[in-house]
Chain A
């Protein structure tokens, strides 16, 4: 059995209550940090553990904490990003509803390390029941003296606020999240200034993903060295993977970073393989934003090495032959899946979710969706394929926030690896637009 850091106790009955969580050793890390460590020592532990942000970008968490500006007399904030709306990613939801105290303990440790007196958990608005679970857990922790004034007699005060989100994917982008938290329209801000200097209410702020923060109790209890020993290379620790699509056992799995894609997909401990009688055609390894890869390239890198579930291995080969770990949304397609239809579906999502501030994303996402819609419905023409690639290139890198990139990459990668399938749609418009029609031409199935 692989090492479990976040989900070890997740199936203990009643673990959502303070008592059950405490019985499993919960809140000992908060006690240890507040009573025996200085804030800087906690930051140092986060740095040494090598834990990287689990929200998508994979930025080292300790380093981010180290960048926080600390001007005199200005409050600092820790904000937990629980807006999780990326198609294919549903791990934070699972963690928060099952074991809310783990996140709360992580927030206490993180807030202490950063010197925040007030911290926020910004939860995706659709998850109202999770918000109630978190609020109940916060009330329990407050009653037990782990939150509020003078925590555990250490003189440290912390108020933890749960904020329901605005119900938009864009509110997961950290600066849009801060705008939304301030009560405004969730439009991303131009950077610089970065949140570490001017974040919430123009004060220094750290935004971290739920899973990133939930690692802290284990790191404090077991030490950063023990954490860094798990995983592979610069991908330390474990990662929650949301597995979905054409597999035997969809669900959330905690893996040690560095297991092979092959093992994750096929072993009974995890996905249990592609559904019976079918073959792997394509895979999105890190949530809808990351490039899609065909079966052969996701199993082995271009150099013929085994592809591992780690930041480095998945991005091996750049975008030409690689992808990204992203937020860990593992979406599996077998040979019955139509790549054009799926690409259109993703494009539709990004079009719907673009905030509309900057012109490349506002207009480009809609344009790509319409062209893809046309191709899928048998009205495409040959130059549409290159047009799509060109639009995606003109969006990428030119937008205020990375939503533009996230919209461009799936389209560009689908055409990069499945061009024949797009062309088949264009040259066989009638056949391709029939319900359930799928390209049957040559492709590498595994």
Chain B
């Protein structure tokens, strides 16, 4: 177990802080965020995975990330033992540090779940629902987030914003239309280069990830932006449209690399390596960044020393049970959650025309049918 030392050498064992998260007590080091405390609970007991707040922007390996998407908002019912007042607003768990005696409510608080549902709705407003042709489907955090917390129909009737696809160098494609502006790739660029040529331009929903202007991120580690991107906005051109991720077989492998750790996951279709990625942990975060040579150029089994099938630690809603089931850490919990959260739709709005009533009726019937089949599948 690792202990942090915050106050210099003399303090070898810092005082741990005790908080209550969704009724579960956990002790963590000072300076830990609420999110990390929740992850600690889930790491100790896998059956508690559902209580970890979803993170669409926070990414532990990228310092200063987080606080933007608001997916992880939680209720602090008691600020600390010293100051037991509740916090007036919901607060982002990914960047808020714990205090002794803090009481946090996540999935035990209906207000939090309602807000989360609206965050899904906001994120999907300008996100194309093109999962059937998106390379990220099956390992997309937004897809999971929408399954777990979203609603089955949209209230958004206006046009969505669209952008043209842009190539960032020979291997990476930016499809801005899918971007949820989590800023992870920007922070990655900050980390891999002193002279970032990659940032955000414009404002509001017209914001755009840019590489001043379409200039390649000319860097040996640029490929990592693909791994950090929670959606299919940054994709690997050498892998485009090659396969659905759940039909591929991941294998851990390594090689001697003079640039990076050389520890990767190879994704096989039959005998063919169709993609190389960094290895990821339970939270979908990369363990170590890998270099572009390993990622884009070493696509033969003979380039690698194989270690065996990858233990898939974070399986998404649609790829769950598609990999080797015994190696999957978190089987379809999302699907179960989606089914348990089914509520018959209680809609008492007045519709203007009969036609509209009929349309809504049919949407609702569909929803109910879908939910029933989901629930049946999970029982």
Give A residues with C-beta under 8 Å from B: 168, 170, 185, 190, 351-360, 362-367, 370-371, 374, 381-383, 386-387, 394, 397-400
Q: Which 7 A-B pairs have the closest CB atoms?
A: A356-B207, A394-B118, A354-B204, A363-B122, A190-B67, A370-B158, A356-B204
Cβ–Cβ contact B204 & A397, under 8 A: no
Give B residues with C-beta under 8 Å from A: 56, 67-71, 73, 88-90, 92, 95, 115, 118-119, 121-123, 125-126, 155-156, 158, 180-181, 183, 199-200, 202-207, 349-352, 356
A/B interface sample: 17 pairs, CB < 8 A: A190-B67, A190-B92, A354-B203, A354-B204, A356-B200, A356-B206, A358-B68, A359-B69, A359-B119, A360-B70, A360-B119, A363-B126, A381-B352, A382-B352, A394-B122, A398-B70, A399-B70
Q: Hey, which chain B residues are within 8 Å of A366, CB to CB?
A: 125-126, 204-205
Q: Which residue of B lies closest to A381 (CB)?
A: B352
Cβ–Cβ contact A365 & B204, under 8 A: yes
Q: Hey, which chain B residues are within 8 Å of A364, CB to CB?
A: 122
Q: What's the minimum C-beta distance from A117 to chain B, rounded to whole angstroms?
A: 28
Cβ–Cβ contact A383 & B203, under 8 A: no
Q: Hey, which chain B residues are within 8 Å of A355, CB to CB?
A: 203-204
Q: Hey, which chain A residues are within 8 Å of B56, CB to CB?
A: 359
Alpha-carbon gap, A220 to B83, bound state (A): 37
Q: Hey, which chain A residues are within 8 Å of B200, CB to CB?
A: 185, 356
Alpha-carbon gap, A362 to B206, bound state (A): 9
Q: What's the minimum C-beta distance from A428 to chain B, rounded to whole angstroms?
A: 13
Cβ–Cβ contact A382 & B115, under 8 A: no
Q: Hey, which chain A residues are within 8 Å of B115, CB to CB?
A: 394, 398
Q: What's the minimum C-beta distance from A405 to chain B, rounded to whole angstroms?
A: 10
Q: Which residue of A lies closest to B347 (CB)?
A: A383
Cβ–Cβ contact B70 & A170, under 8 A: no
Known: A352-B204, A356-B207. 13 other contacts (CB 8 A): A357-B181, A359-B56, A359-B68, A359-B119, A359-B122, A359-B180, A360-B119, A360-B122, A362-B122, A363-B123, A365-B205, A366-B126, A366-B205
Q: Which residue of B lies closest to A404 (CB)?
A: B70
Supposing A190-B92, A357-B68 touch, asked if A351 and B204 sit within 8 A by C-beta, the answer is: yes
Q: Hey, which chain A residues are within 8 Å of B351, CB to CB?
A: 382-383
Alpha-carbon gap, A383 to B353, bound state (A): 12
Cβ–Cβ contact B350 & A359, under 8 A: no
Alpha-carbon gap, A362 to B161, bound state (A): 12
Alpha-carbon gap, A417 to B122, bound state (A): 26
Alpha-carbon gap, A371 to B125, bound state (A): 13
Q: Hey, which chain A residues are within 8 Å of B155, CB to CB?
A: 387
Alpha-carbon gap, A357 to B68, bound state (A): 6
Cβ–Cβ contact A398 & B90, under 8 A: yes
Alpha-carbon gap, A371 to B206, bound state (A): 18
Alpha-carbon gap, A383 to B359, bound state (A): 14
Cβ–Cβ contact A383 & B349, under 8 A: yes
Q: Hey, which chain A residues are within 8 Å of B88, CB to CB?
A: 397
Alpha-carbon gap, A227 to B183, bound state (A): 48
Q: Which residue of A lies closest to B117 (CB)?
A: A394
Alpha-carbon gap, A387 to B125, bound state (A): 14
Cβ–Cβ contact A354 & B205, under 8 A: yes
Q: Which residue of A lies closest to B127 (CB)?
A: A363
Alpha-carbon gap, A170 to B67, bound state (A): 17
Q: What's the minimum C-beta distance from A395 to chain B, rounded to whole angstroms?
A: 8
Supposing A398-B73, A398-B90 touch, asked if A367 and B125 sit within 8 A by C-beta, the answer is: yes
Cβ–Cβ contact B68 & A398, under 8 A: no
Cβ–Cβ contact B90 & A397, under 8 A: yes
Supposing A363-B126, A381-B356 touch, asked if A356 and B181 sit within 8 A by C-beta, the answer is: yes
Cβ–Cβ contact B203 & A356, under 8 A: yes
Q: Which residue of B lies closest to A184 (CB)?
A: B199
Q: Hey, which chain B residues are within 8 Å of A382, CB to CB?
A: 349-352
Alpha-carbon gap, A370 to B181, bound state (A): 21
Alpha-carbon gap, A364 to B126, bound state (A): 11
Q: What's the minimum C-beta distance from B86 to chain A, rounded to whole angstroms?
A: 13
Q: What's the minimum C-beta distance from B268 to chain A, rounded to whole angstroms?
A: 36
Q: Which residue of B lies closest to A387 (CB)?
A: B155
Supposing A362-B204, A386-B349 touch, asked if A185 and B118 sit within 8 A by C-beta, the answer is: no
Alpha-carbon gap, A185 to B119, bound state (A): 24
Cβ–Cβ contact A168 & B349, under 8 A: no
Q: What's the minimum C-beta distance from A34 to chain B, rounded to whole angstroms?
A: 39
Q: Which residue of B lies closest to A373 (CB)?
A: B158
Cβ–Cβ contact A383 & B123, under 8 A: no
Cβ–Cβ contact A362 & B205, under 8 A: yes
Cβ–Cβ contact A359 & B349, under 8 A: no
Alpha-carbon gap, A190 to B33, bound state (A): 14
Alpha-carbon gap, A170 to B202, bound state (A): 13
Alpha-carbon gap, A370 to B157, bound state (A): 9
Alpha-carbon gap, A410 to B23, bound state (A): 38
Q: Which residue of B lies closest to A379 (CB)?
A: B157
Q: Which residue of A lies closest to B121 (CB)?
A: A394
Alpha-carbon gap, A367 to B204, bound state (A): 12
Q: Hey, which chain B residues are within 8 Å of A371, CB to CB?
A: 158
Supposing A381-B352, A381-B356, A382-B349 touch, asked if A400 and B203 sit within 8 A by C-beta, the answer is: no
Q: Hey, which chain B residues are within 8 Å of A362, CB to CB?
A: 122, 181, 204-205, 207
Cβ–Cβ contact B89 & A398, under 8 A: yes
Cβ–Cβ contact B70 & A353, under 8 A: no
Q: What's the minimum C-beta distance from A347 to chain B, rounded to whole angstroms?
A: 12
Q: Which residue of A lies closest to B356 (CB)?
A: A381
Q: What's the minimum C-beta distance from A406 to chain B, rounded to whole angstroms?
A: 14
Q: Hey, which chain A residues are within 8 Å of B126, CB to CB?
A: 363, 366
Q: Which residue of B lies closest to A187 (CB)?
A: B200
Q: What's the minimum C-beta distance from A176 to chain B, rounded to whole angstroms?
A: 11
Alpha-carbon gap, A352 to B202, bound state (A): 10
Q: Hey, which chain B residues are within 8 Å of A170, CB to CB?
A: 203
Alpha-carbon gap, A263 to B263, bound state (A): 75
Q: Which residue of B lies closest to A351 (CB)?
A: B204
Q: Which residue of B lies closest to A359 (CB)?
A: B122
Q: Hey, which chain B residues are within 8 Å of A168, CB to CB?
A: 203
Q: Hey, which chain B residues are within 8 Å of A367, CB to CB?
A: 122, 125, 156, 158
**A353 contacts which of B95, B183, B204 (Cβ < 8 Å)?**
B204
Q: Which residue of A lies closest to B350 (CB)?
A: A382
Q: Hey, which chain A residues are within 8 Å of B350, CB to CB?
A: 382-383
Chain A CB within 10 Å — which of B183, B202, B205 has the most?
B205
Q: Hey, which chain B residues are within 8 Å of A399, CB to CB?
A: 70
Cβ–Cβ contact B203 & A353, under 8 A: yes
Q: Hey, which chain B residues are within 8 Å of A394, CB to CB?
A: 115, 118, 121-122
Cβ–Cβ contact B158 & A185, under 8 A: no
Q: Hey, which chain B residues are within 8 Å of A397, CB to CB?
A: 88-90
Alpha-carbon gap, A85 to B118, bound state (A): 29
**A358 contacts which of B69, B121, B203, B356 (Cβ < 8 Å)?**
B69
Cβ–Cβ contact A190 & B95, under 8 A: yes
Q: Hey, which chain A residues are within 8 Å of B69, CB to CB?
A: 358-359
Alpha-carbon gap, A197 to B193, bound state (A): 29
Q: Which residue of A lies closest to B180 (CB)?
A: A359
Chain B CB within 10 Å — which of A355, A358, A386 has the most?
A358
Q: Which residue of B lies closest to A357 (CB)?
A: B68
Q: Hey, which chain B residues are within 8 Å of A374, CB to CB?
A: 158
Alpha-carbon gap, A364 to B181, bound state (A): 14
Alpha-carbon gap, A355 to B158, bound state (A): 21
Alpha-carbon gap, A430 to B67, bound state (A): 44
Q: Which residue of B lies closest to A168 (CB)?
A: B203
Q: What's the minimum C-beta distance from A425 to chain B, rounded to whole angstroms?
A: 13
